Structure 1
Amino acid sequence: MQNDMKKLLKLNLWVLVVLLVGFSGCYHQQPKNNEGTPELTAEQLDSLSFSASHHYSNNYNFVVKADSLPLIRQQPEEVVSGVALDTLYVMHNNHLVVADIRIVPASGEDSVWVQLARDQSTFGWINETQLLPNVVPDDPISQFISTFSDVHLLIFLVVICVIGMLYLALKIVRANAFLVHVRDIDSFYPTLLALLVAASATFYASIQLFAADTWRHFYYHPTLNPFSVPPLLSFFLASVWAILIIGLATIDDIRHKLPFSDAMLYLCGLAGVCAVNYIVFSISTLYYVGYPLLLVYGYWAVSRHMAYNRSRYICGNCGVAMHSKGRCPHCGSFNQ
């Protein structure tokens, strides 16, 4: 009996210890000062507000894309007052870092002034409206976007694509070769790739048209990860990755279906069609014409492939795919 009482007492003590440890572990005293989000100074709040609206701030890196960029050694307030200016120039491809940003209301609409530094001895001020068209963020993705958004490059691409497509069309007609949408192979990948490029170009122009600020933030802070951006940009990046994957699948499929020379000619024609799609749909969407044009193009491309380029039958003698019943083009056997 006495042993039972001792065991019960020990059990009660263990239960008490477990309860005390449990309750003390659940207790959490609210800190008087939130260490995770300390109070910000007025200067820090202004910097965060500027970064949210302009998408860059102090210590941001640019690269000069113009032939040269003038920087003023004097303070912005002195520039506004009309003093004699001491100007220095930074040249093409120079790397610059934002050292300071100042708002000068006396400058009117061009009130934002940015101090840039190339090195410790070369720095000066420039107005934001003069700065941004002549620089590009120091990131390869941003530089790629800037290059393919250049108006002069687009005009050049249009001319090159028109000349190239005319040459390829003439060569393909003379050689009786294959061409996507015209004399296509028995594969849906080329048609899908062309449609995907057209849809991506339309969506790319739509973002610039209806969500310009979102696209501008992506331009200053680019990424290729579709899971780290808002849904709009996530869908666009997913389409870019899809183009890459479908493109690799297309090359592999063409390689197995055509001889090397015919495959190279077909790939050149496919690249030309994709380039034309990118230019046409990215420009026409800015004028709202791209949306009905994409619907018409998609319906025409899919229906043409299903009607003329899909093999629905297989030869009973040699097993070669056939577009229709009748005599096999490979072995000559007649299939009913």
Structure 2
Amino acid sequence: MNLLRIHAVYLVVLTLTSCYNQASDTPDAWNLTDQQIDSISFSTTHHYSQNYNFIVKGDSIVLICQRPNETAYDSITIYHNNRIVVADILTLPEDTTDSVWVKVARDQTTQGWVHEKELLKNVEPDDPISQFISTFSDVHLLIFLALLVITCAIYGLVKLSKRNAHIVHFNDIDSFYPTLLALNIAFSATLYASIQMFGADSWRHFYYHPSLNPFTLPPHLGLFITSVWSMIIILIAVIDELRRILTFGDAILYLSGLAATCAVNYVVFSITTLYYIGYILFIAYCIFAIHRYLHNSHSTYLCGRCGAKLMRKGKCPQCGTINE
């Protein structure tokens, strides 16, 4: 018993005993050179720094082999799809064209200097997410896509309506998931355009350092990435509902109409929000979509024979029984 008490006292003494470590002063802990401080400052404002990887998306970029402040110049050219790395950054305040020069290298023998503005308009980050963003942020592509999508969607929806096929918002199935998917895409497009207008710098940083984890991003970007993930989840739920409700052929037709509706939502809301009209349209669209589902798509009857859901009285599509 005494031995047990001795051990207990010994454990208490060990618990209350600690070593003191003299912490370093903050200036010593952050003993950085001027070059390192400049690099951190540049990375904060420009969102890239040395050793950052780009891929050439333009036809070509002409590089100057010598430093920009030297008099004699030799040049070398890098071409489309070449992968390059930032080797050095130089600031020349006296340069009236562009004070920032960037040295990039394709390999040990192919490297040189170029103005930052010239570089950035011809490259994109060597990351698939960034390249996807770059493609869908292209203005000319967006305008072309808008015209193409709206034309095809109108044609497709008219053809489907003539066949009396199921179409989201009009002759919808008894499931809220398709309406929710259309609303989610409209919300995501509106949020995307809003970030472009009011959080351009944070979006630019995300463009250079993308992540699909919403919990590691600022709240507005995390909300956008969450909405993107929710599209996939809701789409899976839509497909599962269609498998249960419609035949395979009707399900393919319905998915085609839903895809056209979602494409129109993306184009319309991502463009109109840039002119502030999108916010009013989004509220109106939410009211319209929910109203259409509650009054036209929601089943209110059950077949008296097989128990299948019916939107209106009449012939049951499952067993053929007339319900009055």
* Same-fold call, TM cutoff 0.5: yes
1:140 and 1:203 mapped to 2: Cα distance?
A: 22
The residue aligned with 1:263 is: 251
Provide the alpha-carbon RMSD of the alignment.
2.2
For the pair 1:291 / 2:279, whether they are aligned, the reply is yes
For the pair 1:210 / 2:198, whether they are aligned, the reply is yes
2:307 and 2:50 mapped to 1: Cα distance?
A: 68
The residue aligned with 1:156 is: 144
**Of 102, 106, 110, which residue of structure 2 is paired with 1:114?**
102
Structure 1 residues 205-247: Cα deviation after superposition (integer angstroms, max 9, x where no partner): 1111101111001000001111111111111111000011001
**Of 11, 14, 25, which residue of structure 2 is paired with 1:21?**
14
Could you tell me which amino acid in structure 2 is paired with residue 55 of structure 1?
H
TM-score, structure 2 normalization:
0.93
SS in 2 for 1:281: helix
Could you tell me which amino acid in structure 1 is paired with residue 77 of structure 2?
Y
For the pair 1:281 / 2:269, whether they are aligned, the reply is yes
Query: Quick one: structure 1 residues 11 and 275, their matched pair in 2 at CA, closer, same or farther if it must change by over 3 Å?
Result: closer
Contact residue 191 and residue 301 of structure 1 kept, 8 A? yes
Contact residue 303 and residue 316 of structure 2 kept, 8 A? no
Could you tell me which amino acid in structure 2 is paired with residue 162 of structure 1?
I
Could you tell me which amino acid in structure 1 is paired with residue 323 of structure 2?
F
Counterparts in 2 of 1:171-320, with a 5 A limit? 171-320=159-308
Structure 1 residues 153-212: Cα deviation after superposition (integer angstroms, max 9, x where no partner): 112211221231133123213322121112211111111101100000000111111011
4+ residue runs over 6 A deviation: 10-13
The residue aligned with 1:334 is: 323
Percent identical among aligned pairs is 52
For the pair 1:54 / 2:46, whether they are aligned, the reply is yes
Query: Quick one: structure 1 residues 36 and 299, their matched pair in 2 at CA, closer, same or farther if it must change by over 3 Å?
Result: farther
2:116 and 2:311 mapped to 1: Cα distance?
A: 62
Could you tell me which amino acid in structure 2 is paired with residue 48 of structure 1?
I
2:293 and 2:24 mapped to 1: Cα distance?
A: 69
Contact residue 299 and residue 309 of structure 2 kept, 8 A? yes
Could you tell me which amino acid in structure 2 is paired with residue 240 of structure 1?
V
- In the TM superposition, residue 38 of structure 1 has moved relative to its aligned partner by 3.9
Contact residue 317 and residue 333 of structure 1 kept, 8 A? no
1:84 and 1:150 mapped to 2: Cα distance?
A: 37
- In the TM superposition, residue 28 of structure 1 has moved relative to its aligned partner by 1.9
Could you tell me which amino acid in structure 2 is paired with residue 44 of structure 1?
Q
1:264 and 1:32 mapped to 2: Cα distance?
A: 67
TM-score, structure 1 normalization:
0.90
The residue aligned with 1:86 is: 74
SS in 1 for 2:22: coil
Query: Quick one: structure 1 residues 112 and 315, their matched pair in 2 at CA, closer, same or farther if it must change by over 3 Å?
Result: same
Structure 1 residues 278-304: Cα deviation after superposition (integer angstroms, max 9, x where no partner): 111011111111101000001001101
Q: Which runs of 5+ in 1 are unaligned?
A: none
- In the TM superposition, residue 37 of structure 1 has moved relative to its aligned partner by 3.8
Query: Quick one: structure 1 residues 142 and 168, their matched pair in 2 at CA, closer, same or farther if it must change by over 3 Å?
Result: same
SS in 2 for 1:227: helix
SS in 2 for 1:99: strand
Query: Quick one: structure 1 residues 45 and 317, their matched pair in 2 at CA, closer, same or farther if it must change by over 3 Å?
Result: same
The residue aligned with 2:33 is: 41
Contact residue 178 and residue 184 of structure 1 kept, 8 A? yes
Could you tell me which amino acid in structure 2 is paired with residue 104 of structure 1?
L
Task: Return 35-44 or 204-213, whichever deviates more.
Answer: 35-44
2:55 and 2:153 mapped to 1: Cα distance?
A: 35
**Of 51, 55, 65, which residue of structure 2 is paired with 1:63?**
55
- In the TM superposition, residue 64 of structure 1 has moved relative to its aligned partner by 0.4
For the pair 1:323 / 2:311, whether they are aligned, the reply is yes
Contact residue 74 and residue 85 of structure 1 kept, 8 A? yes
Query: Quick one: structure 1 residues 60 and 316, their matched pair in 2 at CA, closer, same or farther if it must change by over 3 Å?
Result: same
Structure 1 residues 73-92: Cα deviation after superposition (integer angstroms, max 9, x where no partner): 121213xxxx4532221111
